[in-house]
């Protein structure tokens, strides 16, 4: 922005008046006094202005192309500055110094959004997964055990059922580097979960509903896959990674944006959790298939889960598990044509649980 003093010619025939000129990359304004002596101002759109240098007069001249009004100022300086402004305006949008251009802003924003989402959706999870694989089994076990110990004090164990379930799992003869320890907790909740490193916790509420041994086999194989595929450890690293990324980008300021971003991040974590549950279902089912155990166990297991919470089906998008009907569906599809054979050993162990 520069200012000058010079002469203003409102039209070709009118006499000049002393006037001021403001020249910037956005506007050209002229302050002058009209024929009655009142102060006035004219703003000329830059597109309608022509600038040149009058060599004979040694003056810079600006002409409004529509009205033919002129402003003249002594010296070359104004004209040179005008050339600078025009050169800047004619530069391609990405070389401009100022950030006024909409196209440039939009392009920059979309480039940043793109790279940001690439980072968020691919790089961060990938790095987190890499880090999770570095964690040793020993560390996983320590992590799981410390959670288990903290939880244990508030729960009562069903020692008899615990023994039976461990026997049952050993009878399944699943090969693994983890030492799987199952604990049955007295609680009406219809639930079970796996901790990193091999601790499986099953609530009696879920066992009471079971009628046949394939259901138990389905449950244990599902939870076993969570351990074997390090689902808990991977989830921890992934959510830590994306939390860190979001905090780095958006800061920890509290505000509407943070709230929205936090929720979106949460949804993403849930979607990952659903994909892990599906993996556990399908991989767990494979273990049953190898042993010729009835895949209907999964079906009935899911049915218990569904019955335990009637009318509280939440939309899959905001749930940590896939929709129960979906789970039944993909297991049924996977189980098509499977040969089922009875396993007397598993059956008798399961009977101990029911006859206690």
Binding residues for another protein, per CB under 8 A?
Answer: 1, 3-5, 18, 20-22, 24, 26-27, 29-33, 38-41, 43, 98-99, 108-109, 112, 248-251, 253, 255, 257
Closest CB to another protein among 32 and 350? 32
Closest CB to another protein among 29 and 320? 29
User: Given the structure tokens 């979106």, which residue do they identify?
Assistant: 264
Task: Find the helix or strand (DSSP H, E) in which 193 lies.
Answer: strand 192-194
Closest CB to another protein among 38 and 312? 38
Cα(144)–Cα(159) distance, integer angstroms: 20
Phi-psi group of 163: left, alpha or beta (phi > 0 → left; psi -120 to 50 → alpha; rest → beta): alpha
Task: Find the helix or strand (DSSP H, E) in which 49 lies.
Answer: strand 49-54
Closest CB to another protein among 23 and 165? 23
Cβ at position 41, least distance to another protein in Å = 4
Cβ at position 111, least distance to another protein in Å = 10
Cβ at position 107, least distance to another protein in Å = 12
219 within 8 A of 201, measured Cβ to Cβ? no
Closest CB to another protein among 27 and 142? 27
Angle at which helix 256-290 crosses helix 213-228, to 10 degrees, equals: 120
Hey, is 73 helix, strand or coil? strand
Hey, is 17 helix, strand or coil? strand
Cβ at position 106, least distance to another protein in Å = 12
Closest CB to another protein among 75 and 255? 255
Cβ at position 195, least distance to another protein in Å = 35
DSSP H helices, the chain, are: 77-90, 102-118, 124-134, 137-152, 159-172, 204-209, 213-228, 231-250, 256-290, 296-308, 324-334, 344-355
Closest CB to another protein among 38 and 154? 38
44 within 8 A of 65, measured Cβ to Cβ? no
299 within 8 A of 252, measured Cβ to Cβ? no
Closest CB to another protein among 189 and 257? 257
Cβ at position 102, least distance to another protein in Å = 13
CA angle in degrees (0–180, nearest 5) for 50-56-59: 50
Angle at which helix 159-172 crosses helix 344-355, to 10 degrees, equals: 170
DSSP string, 210-271: --SHHHHHHHHHHHHHHHHTTHHHHHHHHHHHHHHHHHHHH-S--SHHHHHHHHHHHHHHHH
Cβ at position 152, least distance to another protein in Å = 42
Closest CB to another protein among 42 and 239? 42
Cβ at position 1, least distance to another protein in Å = 6
Cβ at position 269, least distance to another protein in Å = 22
Q: Per DSSP, what are the bridge partners of residue 50? A: 63
Cα(10)–Cα(110) distance, integer angstroms: 46
Closest CB to another protein among 15 and 337? 15
């Amino acid at each position: 922005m520069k200012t000058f003093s010079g002469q203003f010619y409102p039209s070709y025939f009118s006499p000049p008046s002393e006037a001021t000129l403001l020249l910037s990359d956005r506007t050209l304004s002229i302050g002058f006094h009209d024929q009655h002596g009142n102060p006035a101002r004219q703003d000329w759109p830059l597109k309608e202005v022509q600038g040149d240098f009058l060599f004979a007069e040694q003056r810079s001249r600006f002409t409004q192309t529509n009205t033919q009004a002129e402003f003249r100022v002594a010296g070359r300086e104004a004209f040179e500055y005008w050339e600078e402004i025009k050169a800047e305006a004619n530069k391609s949008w990405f070389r401009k110094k100022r950030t006024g251009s909409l196209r440039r802003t939009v392009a920059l924003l979309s480039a940043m959004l793109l790279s940001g989402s690439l980072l968020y959706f691919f790089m961060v999870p990938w790095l987190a997964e890499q880090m999770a694989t570095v964690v040793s089994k020993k560390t996983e076990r320590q992590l799981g055990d410390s959670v288990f110990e903290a939880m244990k004090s508030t729960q009562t164990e069903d020692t008899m059922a615990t023994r039976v379930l461990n026997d049952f799992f050993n009878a399944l003869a699943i090969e693994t580097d983890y030492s799987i320890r199952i604990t049955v907790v007295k609680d009406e909740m219809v639930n079970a979960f796996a901790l990193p490193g091999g601790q499986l916790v099953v609530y009696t509420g879920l066992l009471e509903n079971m009628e046949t041994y394939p259901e138990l086999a389905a449950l244990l194989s599902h939870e076993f896959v969570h351990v074997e595929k390090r689902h808990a450890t991977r989830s921890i690293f992934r959510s830590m990674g994306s939390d860190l990324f979001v905090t780095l980008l958006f800061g920890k300021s509290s505000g509407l944006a943070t709230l929205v971003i936090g929720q979106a991040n949460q949804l993403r974590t849930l979607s990952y959790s659903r994909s892990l549950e599906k993996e556990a279902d399908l991989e767990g089912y494979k273990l049953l298939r190898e042993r010729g155990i009835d895949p209907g166990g999964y079906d009935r297991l899911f049915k218990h889960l569904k019955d335990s919470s009637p009318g509280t089906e939440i939309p899959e998008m905001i749930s940590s598990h896939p929709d129960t009907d979906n789970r039944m569906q993909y297991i049924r599809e996977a189980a098509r044509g499977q040969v089922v054979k009875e396993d007397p050993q598993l059956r008798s162990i399961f009977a101990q649980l029911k006859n206690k």
